[in-house]
Structure 1
Amino acid sequence: MAEPFSVRVEVRGYETDTQGHLNQAVYLQYAEHARWAMLRDAGIEQHDLLARRVGPVVLETTIRYLRELRAGDSVDVGCVFEWGEGKTFRVLQEIRKTDGTLSAEITGVGGVLDLDRRKLVADPREIFKELAKDPGAFGL
């Protein structure tokens, strides 16, 4: 398995709810930000995906909220791809405060959509291997 990718984010005041906690929907935005940052870090740009006529899609997401986050907190948003057989893969993500406190766990199921056929590609690993300058970032 590859080393987990991580990107740092600071919780902004406008992302909090009336209790002063990070709004639940923003956790999904942080997770999405980390996934796109990981793709870029591995050498896959959005224009590369569009030129190849494919795009990553989220099919399922589960979030476990464990500790509150407040404005001004800095967090590291991790991302690890887990491959199985077939058209889908899992993405395991953690949001941790810089003191190590685990604030949330996000587990997702994803795939790669053929933009012309509007169907999932048979083996998403092959797309990542083809487009990434560093497929090892995805454990490939």
Structure 2
Amino acid sequence: MSGSIDPWRYGWSTDYLTQTSGGLGVTGFLDTSAQLDGLVDEAITFTFDKSVRLMSVTYSYFGWGDDADVYVNGAMVANESTANPYLFGNTIASSFTIGADGWNDNFRIKSFTVAAVPVPAAGFLLLGGLAGLGLVGRKRKKAA
């Protein structure tokens, strides 16, 4: 499984993803905090090449006044959540975004956990059945 991580800041300036020992953040013009902060609305989007089961995201430097906006596949699922870690539940998606939009928000994304979505057993049975039908058809064609 692979994917991409994209930073975003409100406004016209260039957005930079930052990584410190505390985790991931965003910086840009006149913003050197290297955190997700709401002074200028900021967000980080994680996009995967395949659907994954979203488990949790954990923040560092997440204090009593901090909250995060959480989006799954572009749709908001939590507005100003104070949960740390934030638990996604049994959600299957190809992307999620964590944003900060309050003037006192100031945190980093420390870690996140996802799990691969297994191919259903029925898919393997279907492929096996189609292969079997193909072999039977081939034998009949040779016999005729």
Of structures 1 and 2, the one with the larger relative CO (CA 8 A, separation 6+) is 1
TM-score range normalised by the length of the shorter chain: under 0.3
| TM-score normalized by the length of structure 2 | 0.25
Instruction: Point out the structure with max Rg over C-alpha.
Output: 2
Between Structure 1 and Structure 2, the one with more strand by share is: 2
Instruction: Give the TM-score normalised by structure 1.
Output: 0.25
